[in-house]
Structure 1
C-alpha cells in the first residue's frame, strides 16, 4: 500500500476497533465522566497543513479497488518533492565543515540565575509530592488500579508502583509529546497522525486527520530520507533482484555480494583496511565490546557516552571507569592512576586499555576533542574507539566524520564505529578497523553469528547514498548545506537569548528549558506553529537540564530555519526561556583576518564585555547569513 492509502485504511480501523498495535484503545470505552483532554490535533494550527482522511469502509476482506488504488497513487505522485528535500535559496547558504586549527574550543555551559534552578527543583518536588499523595489514597480507595503492582495469586509484581512512579506520575503528564505516530517520508516535512485522549493521556484514539509539519525531530542529516531519486530507484531495482530479506545470519547464508561491496565501500570511505556491517546500530556497540575486551581489561568511557556503549562495556566483563565529559585533564589523571595501580586486588598490569568516546554527542551537541585524545593515545599507548553514530556524514569537508573534520589520519584511531541510520537514510551500523580486528569480530561477535544479516534494499540504500556523497556535486551540496543550516540556526538561537549547548558545526542543537512543565508546553506550542521537535528530560538528561533538541538536516533551507527562529522567539517570550548570560560565546563574529586559533585568551580582552544577548528577531535574520559564514568569538 502507498503511504496515504495505508493511512486511510488504518484510520478507519482505529475508528472501528479503537486499537493501534495493542497500545491504544478506544476512548469511548473509558469512563465517560472523565473530562475530555485533547491531544495536539485539537490545537488551532496556524502553520501546519491539516489533511482530512476520507473514511470509506475499508476492511481486510475488502481491499481498495483498482480505481481507488490509482486515485491514491496519483495523489502521492502529485505531492511536491520539496516536502522531502527543500530547494536551496542561495548558493551562499553553504559552509564547509572543517576545524580551523588550534585546540578544540572548550564548550562553556551557560548557567541561568539561581532563581531558575531553585524553581526547577521546586517543580519536581511538587510533582513528586502530589504523585505520592495520589498513590497513597489510590491504593486505599481504588485498589483495582494498583493490583498489577502487588503480589497476586502467588506471582510477584513485574513492576512495583515505586519502580514506575516516574512514568506514571511525571512522564504521563506529557505523553502526548512522545511517540507521535507518523505516516509517509520523514524528510523536510513529516506527517503526523492526529490523535485525541479522553482519559488524561492514558489511551489515545485517532481523529482521522493528518498534520504536515516541519521536521526538526528526525536524524535525517543529509536528507536521504526520500521516496524518489537515485537512491530510491536503486533500492527498487535491488528488491526485484535480491528480494526483501537475506533470511540468514552473516556466518551462514547472509553474506551476499552486495554486503561485501558495502563493507569495502565503507572501509574506503572512512580510511580503514576493512569493515563489517550490522543490521542494527545499537547492537553494533552492544555486541562488539565483548569481542574486543574481557576480564583483566580496562574500558575508560566518557561519562556522557550512549547507552549502547555502556551496555556493551558491561557485557564484556572488563573493568569500567569514566572521565568527565570531554575533559582531557581528567582523562589523563585517570589513565595515570589506573596504569600505576593496575587491576583491582591483584594490581597486575591491565591486559588492554580501551578509551571510548563519541565523535558527536547526541544529547549535548558537542564534538569529541579528538586532537587531545590522539595526544594521550601516543603518550599512554591505549587503544582508541570512536563512536561516529552522529558524526559520520554530518562532519568533515568530505562527510567522513570526526577525523575528516580535524584533518587527522584515520590510522590514528584504532576502531571507528558508526550507524547507517542518520546520514545515509538506511539502518544498521558498522565497525571499521584493521583486517586483524575485523576478522576477530567476525568470529566472536554475537550479532554476526546469531543476528539477521542486513536486508538487501537497506544495503543498496547505503551503497547508493555513499556514491552520492563521494562522487556527485549534489552530495557535496548536501554536506555544505547541513553545516550552514546548523551554524545559522545555532547562532540565531543564541542571539535571541536561549541557552544552547554544543559546538558551532554540530547539527544537534539542544536548547535548555530547565522546568519540567515547560517541556510539554514548548513541544505543544511548536506543534501549533507546524513544527515537530523532540523534547528530553530526566532520566535521559540530568535532572536540571531538560531540553528540546533540534536536529538539522540538509533537506532544510534558510526559510525553514527562519521559520523555526520566529517560532522560538515567540515561544521564548511566552514561556520565559531567554535567560542566557552570553558566557557560552559563539555569538559575535571575529574581526576580518583574525582566526579563533590566534586568540590565546579571549577572556583577557578587557574591552569586550560579556552581556546577555537579547537581539531583535529582525536583526537576527538580517545579519545571520553573513555572520554564520564567519568564525565566531
Structure 2
C-alpha cells in the first residue's frame, strides 16, 4: 500500500510568483514483514529473559550498572526493567553507532577502527584508521563543514583576535560585537525584525519554550517532534496535547476543542495556544504542511513555533528554509527557531521573530542568563557561511551549493524509488530514511556498508516505531555523483541480500492547490 501526498503552492516570493510541488510517500511493506519483525522481537525478548536469569545466578557476567548492597533498601537509582531493551537487544547492534571520526566530517572522512571482546559493552582501538569512508550520516547539508584554508581565513583571524571562548554568559561578560553582528545578519537572512542566538541547539528549544508558555497555556505538539521540543514543553508546565504527524484534521480537532472547552475543570479560556512543529522531521524526512498550519493558526488565533533545525539552509530557492519553500511571509510565523549545527557547519541556535518577542526572551530565557556565549570563531563561521548563502561575499558559491543539494536529493531519492526500496519523506528533503524493519537487518547493513567504506546511520526503537527500523541517509551538496552511485550500487546489492525491496509503486495521489483566498482539493 502506498500513501502519496502532493501539493502545489502558488505564492509571492521576492515580489514574483513561483510554483512549488512536493510529494510525501509513506509506503507499507507486505503483511508478512511486520509479522516477522514482531516475531523476531518476541524471540529476542525470550532469550533476554533467559540471559537475565543466567546473570542473576552468576552464570553470565552482568555489565549493567547495579546498586551497591548497602543501597538496595532505598529507592533504586537504576531501573532494571527499563534497561531490559538496552541490556539484551540494543547492545547487539551497538557496534554500528558512535564510531570515532578522526578527520573533517566532509563528504568523506576517516574512522578509527575498533573491536570488542565482550559483545559491544566495551571497545578497544586497534590503532588502524579506515581511510576515505563516504559520509552518508552527517547533517553537513551544504558541505560547509570543511577544512578549506582560504575560505576559513576570517575564522582564523577571529580566533587569533578574540580567543577560543568567552567563558561567560550574555548577561555578564559574554556580550560581544561578533554576536551582535551575527544576530543582525540572522534577522536579515530570515527577513524578520530581530533574532537572538544561543550557544546550543538543543537548549534553544528546551530553555526558550518555558519562557514563552507556562501554567494555563496549551501546547499542541506534532507526535514526531524532536526531544528538545518535548523537553522544553514539559519544563514549561503548560498542558500538552499531541496531534498526528502532519495531520491537519487531527490538529484542527484539538484546536476546536481547546477554543470551545477551555481549560479542564474551570473551562476558562487558555492564556495561550502554541502550535509546535518542525520544518523537516529528522526521522521521517517529511516537510511540515506549513500553509495549512498557518491557516489554522489564524482561524483559531493560536501561535506558531517553527523549528527549522534541519530545514534552514537545506530547502527553499535561496536556502531560507520551509517558509521560503512555500513562499510564505515570515511574519506569519510567530517564533522561528533554527540551529547552526547542520547547514552552517558550526554550533548553536537562534530564535527569531518580532523585536518584542526577542527582547522579552533576552530577559527571561535561561539560555541568556546561564549558558555561555557562542565562541567568537564559531560566530564568525556562521557569519561567513550565511553571507556566502546570501551572496553577500560577492560569489555564487552559496546558491550553487543550495541548488546542488536539491539536485543530489532528487537524484538519490529517484534512484531509491527505481530500486524498489521503501523510503519515507518529501522528495525535496535531504533526510532520506530507507526502511529495513528488522533490527538484525539494520545491523548487518551497517557493517556491510562500512566494509565497503560507506558510513551510514541506522535507527531503531525507541527512536522509531518498534517495527520500522531504518537506515537514515543525509544528503550533502558536497557529495559527488560518483559517491552517490557507489552507495546506490551497494544498496542495490544489500537490498536483494536482506530482502528489503518491498516498494510496489502503487497508490493514489492527492493534489492540494493553495492560493491567497481558498484551499481546493483535487482527487
Task: Please indicate, yes or no, whether the TM-score normalized by the shorter chain is above 0.5.
Answer: yes
Please list the CA deviations of residues 432-471 of structure 1 after superposition, one character each: whole Å capped at 9, or x if unmatched. Answer: 0111111110111111101100000100000000111111
Please list the CA deviations of residues 268-320 of structure 1 after superposition, one character each: whole Å capped at 9, or x if unmatched. Answer: 10111000001100000000011100111111011100000000001111111
User: Which among 402, 407, 426 is matched to residue 484 of structure 1?
Assistant: 407
Separation of aligned partners in 1, 2:325 and 2:521? 24
C-alpha displacement of 1:229: 4.3
Contact residue 140 and residue 476 of structure 2 kept, 8 A: yes
Structure 1 residues 209, 458: CA separation in 2 closer, same or farther (over 3 Å shift)?
same
Separation of aligned partners in 1, 2:182 and 2:129? 37
Structure 1 residues 104, 555: CA separation in 2 closer, same or farther (over 3 Å shift)?
closer
Q: How does 1:193-592 map to 2 (within 5 A)?
A: 193-211=112-130, 212-471=132-391, 472-583=395-506
- Helix, strand or coil at the partner of 1:169: helix
Structure 1 residues 149, 142: CA separation in 2 closer, same or farther (over 3 Å shift)?
farther
Residue segments in structure 2 that go unaligned for 5+ positions in a row? 1-15, 515-519
C-alpha displacement of 1:108: 3.8
| Structure with the largest fraction of strand | 2
Please name the residue that 1:21 is paired with: none
Separation of aligned partners in 1, 2:248 and 2:295? 10
- Helix, strand or coil at the partner of 1:535: strand
Separation of aligned partners in 2, 1:253 and 1:584? 59
Separation of aligned partners in 2, 1:145 and 1:418? 42
**Does residue 93 of structure 2 align to residue 174 of structure 1?**
yes
C-alpha displacement of 1:247: 1.3
Separation of aligned partners in 2, 1:147 and 1:444? 41
Please name the residue that 1:158 is paired with: 77
Separation of aligned partners in 2, 1:602 and 1:545? 31
Contact residue 230 and residue 464 of structure 1 kept, 8 A: no
Residue segments in structure 1 that go unaligned for 5+ positions in a row? 1-97, 587-594, 604-633
Please list the CA deviations of residues 320-376 of structure 1 after superposition, one character each: whole Å capped at 9, or x if unmatched. Answer: 111110011111111001111100111000011110100110110000001101111
Structure 1 residues 509, 185: CA separation in 2 closer, same or farther (over 3 Å shift)?
same
Q: How does 1:104-183 map to 2 (within 5 A)?
A: 105=23, 107-142=24-59, 145=62, 148-150=65-67, 152-154=69-71, 156=74, 157-183=76-102
Please name the residue that 1:627 is paired with: none
Query: Larger radius of gyration, structure 1 or 2?
Result: 1
Please name the residue that 2:7 is paired with: none
Please list the CA deviations of residues 162-204 of structure 1 after superposition, one character each: whole Å capped at 9, or x if unmatched. Answer: 1211111001101110110111100010110001112221221
Structure 1 residues 401, 277: CA separation in 2 closer, same or farther (over 3 Å shift)?
same
Query: What is the root-mean-square deviation in Å for CA atoms of aligned residues?
Result: 2.1
Length, aligned pairs only:
496
Separation of aligned partners in 2, 1:145 and 1:173? 14
Structure 1 residues 426, 160: CA separation in 2 closer, same or farther (over 3 Å shift)?
same
Please name the residue that 1:93 is paired with: none
Separation of aligned partners in 2, 1:154 and 1:562? 57
The TM-score, its normalising length taken from structure 1, stands at 0.76
- Helix, strand or coil at the partner of 1:347: coil
The TM-score, its normalising length taken from structure 2, stands at 0.91
Contact residue 63 and residue 121 of structure 2 kept, 8 A: no
Separation of aligned partners in 1, 2:484 and 2:455? 13
C-alpha displacement of 1:147: 8.8
Separation of aligned partners in 2, 1:321 and 1:223? 37
C-alpha displacement of 1:494: 1.1
C-alpha displacement of 1:227: 1.2
